[in-house]
């Protein structure tokens, strides 16, 4: 692993260790993060291969932490001189700092949550294009209303080494693949879209067998046809039932970010200082679990070298913990949870979610729908906006239905859910027994960094949500 990262460059492992040791002397924490990556992406759009990209990257990120001050520098010039220049810059963080207490080393793990493979290491370009063509043709033949198809397959492999003071070394190789299908249907001049995707830390072969991609295409077409039939959404305060799986993205955004350690240490989260207090209805248990093998948000070790774990954030409605990286855990005097993540070598780590989801309850999903007398059932979501300090959110439903007297009726279009995370947690009336994780499509953004994540939840009945719509 280390030989691979240092091949074809002037910088040697011994030189990197020497500079790292000197940089971190007298600091609380820090590391040299080395990464070598490869990625590819092919998009077949409107009947032709529109884009085909293949990229490689290699670089380092050097960090020095003293108290609450962080010095960080990054570069792609893998030479002793470049690393030494970076060291001179980041050591300014410890200038005049005299109270350094070297943070404990991350614990070791022998567990690997994904195979040591390179999904980009396949020179056969033709079969990939043929697969995309086959999906395009299938969608068009499946329904005559389909007028446009866009299919994307992407893969990446990231090999990382983390060096710490004293010669400590932590390695990981991370594969990631994704396949997505988007269709546009047209009926009498009205056009609507449908989307479906899947992926994870595995090889292409786990996702591109014929049964899997046909199921994906069928789902994209189904969603588009539903939207063709949709009528304008009503507006007002009403009860809402959220479907299982991907709707957990609302939980991720409206609640999950507020449980990350940095926001709580700085006092900017709606959940600051509430450990041990009831913040949700009874029965609500939320966990962040980076140890689930093969999932998009899972990591054998985080980007500081700490093994990921299953962290119970909320248990039966009581706030139990925040998600922590090394710096915020040290400053808050709490255990590290393996949530130190970064987009790549050019970014410093921060507390981030992995796979965040609510556990299931005991109520069958059918009974939950039957209890909804007048409201909305929302099984799919698009984008949203959240204010971390207040927890206020606005989310767009990409698939939703009006429910009357316990029966799902006409689909609606243009529905948005408006509320705030802390309040929504207390308005959960029923929790389904059908907890599901998303199919492997999540990307989380924070401070300009994007990382792959997983979300999930069971069917949820939420009372009194504000619904924005366009129906008069």
| pLDDT given for residue 4 in this prediction | 67
pLDDT at 472 over 80: no
For residue 126, the model assigns a pLDDT of: 87
pLDDT at site 3: 63
What is the structure's pLDDT at 253?
87
Distance CA 87, CA 91 (A): 6
CATH class of 2-228: alpha beta
For residue 130, give every residue at least 6 positions away whose Cβ sits within 8 Å of its Cβ, in sequence order, or none.
none
Q: What per-residue string of b and e applies to 200-222 under the rule 16 or more CB within 10 Å gives b?
A: bbbbbebbbeeeebbebbbbbbe
Q: Give the domain ranges of the chain.
A: 2-228, 232-468
The contacts of residue 445 (CB under 8 Å, 6+ apart) are: none
pLDDT, tens digit, 9 for 90 and up, residues 93-133:
999 998 888 889 999 998 999 999 999 887 678 889 999 99
Q: Each residue of 300-356: pLDDT tens digit? A: 999 999 999 999 999 999 999 999 999 999 999 999 999 999 999 999 999 999 999
Q: Answer whether residue 1 shows pLDDT above 60.
A: no
Using 50, 70 and 90 to split pLDDT, how confident is the model at 136? very high
- Distance in angstroms (rounded) separating the CA atoms of residues 356 and 255: 10
The pLDDT, as a whole number, for residue 84 is 98
Task: Read off the pLDDT of residues 194-236 as tens digits, 9 standing for 90 and up.
Answer: 999 999 999 988 888 899 999 999 999 999 999 999 999 999 9
CA 6 – CA 29 distance, rounded (Å): 24
What integer best gives the mean pLDDT of the chain? 95
pLDDT of residue 306: 98
At residue 390, the pLDDT reads 86
pLDDT recorded at residue 383:
73
Confirm if 338 and 308 have CB atoms less than 8 A apart. yes
What are the tens digits of pLDDT across the range 355-379?
Answer: 999 999 999 999 999 999 999 999 9
pLDDT in tens, 24-81: 999 999 999 999 999 999 999 989 999 999 999 999 999 999 999 999 999 999 999 9
pTM: 0.95
pLDDT at 142 over 60: yes
Residues 223-282 have pLDDT tens digits of 999 999 999 999 999 999 999 999 999 899 889 999 999 999 999 999 999 999 999 999
């Amino acid at each position: 692993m280390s030989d691979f990262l240092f091949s074809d460059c002037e910088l040697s492992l011994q030189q990197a260790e020497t500079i790292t040791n000197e940089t971190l002397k007298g600091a609380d924490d820090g590391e040299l993060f080395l990464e070598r990556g490869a990625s590819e992406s092919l998009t077949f759009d409107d009947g032709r291969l529109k884009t085909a990209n293949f990229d490689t990257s290699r670089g380092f990120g050097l960090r020095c932490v003293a108290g609450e001050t962080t010095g960080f520098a990054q570069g792609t010039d893998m030479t002793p001189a470049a690393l030494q220049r970076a060291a001179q810059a980041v050591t300014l963080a410890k200038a005049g700092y005299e109270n350094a207490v070297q943070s404990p080393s991350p614990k070791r793990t022998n567990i690997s949550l994904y195979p040591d493979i390179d999904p980009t290491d396949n020179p056969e370009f033709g079969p990939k294009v043929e697969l995309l063509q086959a999906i395009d043709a299938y969608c068009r033949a499946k329904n005559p209303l389909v007028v446009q198809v866009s299919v994307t397959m992407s893969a990446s492999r990231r090999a990382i080494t983390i060096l710490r003071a004293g010669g400590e070394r932590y390695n990981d190789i991370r594969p990631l693949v994704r396949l997505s299908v988007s269709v546009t249907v047209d009926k009498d001049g009205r056009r609507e879209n449908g989307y479906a995707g899947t992926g994870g830390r595995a090889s292409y072969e786990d996702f591109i067998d014929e049964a899997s991609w046909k199921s994906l295409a069928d789902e994209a077409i189904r969603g588009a046809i539903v939207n063709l039939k949709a009528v304008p959404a009503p507006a007002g305060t009403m009860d809402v039932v959220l479907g299982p799986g991907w709707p957990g993205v609302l939980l991720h955004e409206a609640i999950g970010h507020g449980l990350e350690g940095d926001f709580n240490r700085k006092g900017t989260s709606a959940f600051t200082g509430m450990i041990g207090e009831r913040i949700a209805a009874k029965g609500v248990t939320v966990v962040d679990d980076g140890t689930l093998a093969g999932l998009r948000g899972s990591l054998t070790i985080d980007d500081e070298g700490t093994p990921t774990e299953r962290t119970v954030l909320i248990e039966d409605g009581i706030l139990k913990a925040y998600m922590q990286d090394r710096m915020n855990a040290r400053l808050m005097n709490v255990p590290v949870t393996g949530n130190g993540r970064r987009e790549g070598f050019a970014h410093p780590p921060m507390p981030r979610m992995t796979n965040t989801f609510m556990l299931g309850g005991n109520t069958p999903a059918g009974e939950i729908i039957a209890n909804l007398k007048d409201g909305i059932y929302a099984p799919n979501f698009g984008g949203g906006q959240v204010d971390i300090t207040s927890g206020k959110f606005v989310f767009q439903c990409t698939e939703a239905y009006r429910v009357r007297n316990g029966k799902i009726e006409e689909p609606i279009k243009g529905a948005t859910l408006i509320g705030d995370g802390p309040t929504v947690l207390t308005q959960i009336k029923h929790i389904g027994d059908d907890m599901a994780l998303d199919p492997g499509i999540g990307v989380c953004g924070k401070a300009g960094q994007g990382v792959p994540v997983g979300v999930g939840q069971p069917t949820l009945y939420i009372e009194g949500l504000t619904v924005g719509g366009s129906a008069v």
